Amino acid sequence: MAEQLPPEILARGDLLKLGAAAGLGFAALPLVQPSAPRNRVARTPVPLALAAQPGVLDLYINEGYLKMVDDTLVYHRGFGSRPTDVDDPSPSLTMDPTVITVAGDVVPSRSYPLEAPLPTRGTPAPLRADAANPGQFLIRRNYWASYFPARTIIAELGSTIRLRIQNRLGKPHTLTVFGAGADGGDLTTGPVAPDSVATLDFPCPRPGTYIFADPTNAPVERVLGLFGVLVVMDPEHQWDIAEDLATFERQWVWICHCVESRWASMEAAGQTVDPVQTPALPRYFTLNGRSGFESLGITFDDTVNLATEEETLISGYPRQLDVRQFGEGTEAGTLRGGQLVRLINPGICLHQMHFHGNHIWTVRRNNVDWPRHEGFVDNEGHVVLQQWEDVVELAQMDTKDCIIPIKRPPDAIDPVWFARTGDWVYPMHCHAEPSQTAAGGMYPGGLVAHWTLKGPIPGATP
Ligand SMILES: [Cu+2]
């Protein structure tokens, strides 16, 4: 076999040119490796989609190429929602968000609670103006649905999670749900052989945020894209992190990741990466699978931009917030809380999530509630205490549940506050600076977002 072209260094334009030169359309992308037969990964008959079973969520371990923020195509593996092959121009490498209900239903849905109203463009509308706090609003309590990104399973406490995983690749793979066992241990399929199917059934763990991933040759398979997130909600407390924990107006899931394109091309060529011999040097950094202008919702694709606003770009109307009691409203049906953002890092880079405009309040890390007093410094030197933070550290394989208050910024003096005519939009960026770039320098092409403090509503009266 002739030497393969490293696909990740080819821009999409080059691929199109190559495709055109070979008389091929975009759909025939992998044939940019001209010597590779089209069925290079097809082993004895490629398994078809599994026959659906009620109450079972099917995941397919697929491979394929994803377009990065600079239009480079990079090889990925992932837990998909349908079977696709490596030459699929639109491979299924992330599962569609899915809700598993306490009644045992598996419902494809990117919003939860299922029956709750959907906030337009992701922004919950307020109840009405707050007479006691000019320019601020009373927030509806226990009302709005939240949108969730790809790769998210939302399971209701009391349900049984039944996963069926088909490995469509040439090497064994595993699905492990970290910390979701009854004793806080991991749950795993164990190695699933090529072209085989495994099942993983387990009682829904307690409310929280759990990462699932393939621990094979860690962290290589995870970095290649074999990861996802399980969010557990108590169906009796659909707007609380858990019973008696912080209440929120709506929630956001932020999945941080980074892409190591050299590892990807080595694995695509059939090699097995040794992370010691080839240390990771991530080249792309994503938030909910998007980078730079994509994760800021300013692409030329309005559908993608809308999904980004709904899933990622935190927004809300300013409200008076009392951090001492997130659940208390100023009157029945209203809330003095903010919004919940679940920061999740299945990647291999440590992130420093910096929110401009408002500090945020971390309530738990890795599903362990942080104390509100008598905080302490843990063995790694980190302060363990609920407090206002400007920058939130997010270590590899960590999850943190934080409340963003969506409040009037403390430095907005009255003449400024009352002169508002529109939205105030604040950046969120990672202070670990390499993550702000793409392709080794394209700035700001990496792990960025923003959040919006909505402007005055004309005519809104208390
Ligand atoms: Cu900053």
pLDDT digits (tens, 9 = 90+) for 147-183: 999 999 999 999 999 999 999 999 999 999 999 999 9
Counted domains in the chain: 1
Dist. CA 334 → ligand 1 center (Å):
32
256: how many CB neighbours lie within 10 A of its CB? Answer: 22
Place of tokens 């270590």: 395
Dist. CA 427 → ligand 1 center (Å):
8
Dist. CA 434 → ligand 1 center (Å):
13
How far apart CA 110 and CA 349 sit, in angstroms, is 27
Dist. CA 430 → ligand 1 center (Å):
7
Which residue segment(s) compose the domain that 419 sits in?
Answer: 98-453
Cα Rg of the chain (Å, integer): 23
**CATH number for the domain including 303?**
2.60.40.420
Q: Which tens digit of pLDDT belongs to each residue from 427-456?
A: 999 999 899 999 988 999 999 999 999 999
* Tokens linked to 19: 């495709």
Tell me which H or E stretch contains 230: strand 227-233
Dist. CA 282 → ligand 1 center (Å):
21
pLDDT of residue 255: 98
Dist. CA 392 → ligand 1 center (Å):
11
Dist. CA 354 → ligand 1 center (Å):
5
Dist. CA 389 → ligand 1 center (Å):
12
pLDDT of residue 378: 95
Dist. CA 356 → ligand 1 center (Å):
7
Dist. CA 359 → ligand 1 center (Å):
11
Dist. CA 294 → ligand 1 center (Å):
19
* Tokens linked to 413: 């003096």
Residue 272 included in any domain: yes
Dist. CA 377 → ligand 1 center (Å):
24
Residue 344 included in any domain: yes
How far apart CA 147 and CA 252 sit, in angstroms, is 7
Dist. CA 352 → ligand 1 center (Å):
9
Dist. CA 433 → ligand 1 center (Å):
10
Dist. CA 438 → ligand 1 center (Å):
18
Dist. CA 355 → ligand 1 center (Å):
7
Dist. CA 426 → ligand 1 center (Å):
10
Dist. CA 391 → ligand 1 center (Å):
8
Dist. CA 421 → ligand 1 center (Å):
25
Dist. CA 450 → ligand 1 center (Å):
11
Tell me which H or E stretch contains 237: none
pLDDT of residue 15: 34
pLDDT of residue 233: 98
Residue 80 included in any domain: no
Residue 386 included in any domain: yes
Q: DSSP H helical segments within 177-257, as ranges?
A: 220-223
Residue 83 included in any domain: no
Give pLDDT tens digits along the chain (462 positions): 333 433 333 333 333 333 333 333 333 333 333 344 444 444 545 557 889 999 999 999 999 999 999 999 999 999 999 999 999 999 999 999 999 999 999 999 999 999 999 999 999 999 999 988 889 999 999 999 999 999 999 999 999 999 999 999 999 999 999 999 999 999 999 999 999 999 999 999 999 999 999 999 999 999 999 999 999 999 999 999 999 899 999 999 999 999 999 999 999 999 999 999 999 999 999 999 999 999 999 999 999 999 999 999 999 999 998 887 787 777 777 888 899 999 999 999 999 999 999 999 999 999 999 999 999 999 999 999 999 999 999 999 999 999 999 999 989 999 999 999 999 999 999 999 899 999 988 999 999 999 999 999 988 766
Dist. CA 307 → ligand 1 center (Å):
25
pLDDT of residue 185: 97
* Tokens linked to 215: 């621990």
Whole-angstrom CA distances from 151 to 75, 115, 222, 241 are 18, 21, 13, 20
Dist. CA 248 → ligand 1 center (Å):
25
Q: What is the pTM of this model?
A: 0.90
406: how many CB neighbours lie within 10 A of its CB? Answer: 26
Dist. CA 262 → ligand 1 center (Å):
29
pLDDT of residue 37: 41
Residue 369 included in any domain: yes
CA 255, 257, 262 angle in degrees (round to 5)? 160
Task: Give the chain's end-to-end CA distance (angstroms, integer).
Answer: 73
Residue 197 included in any domain: yes
8-state DSSP, 217: T
How far apart CA 412 and CA 346 sit, in angstroms, is 36
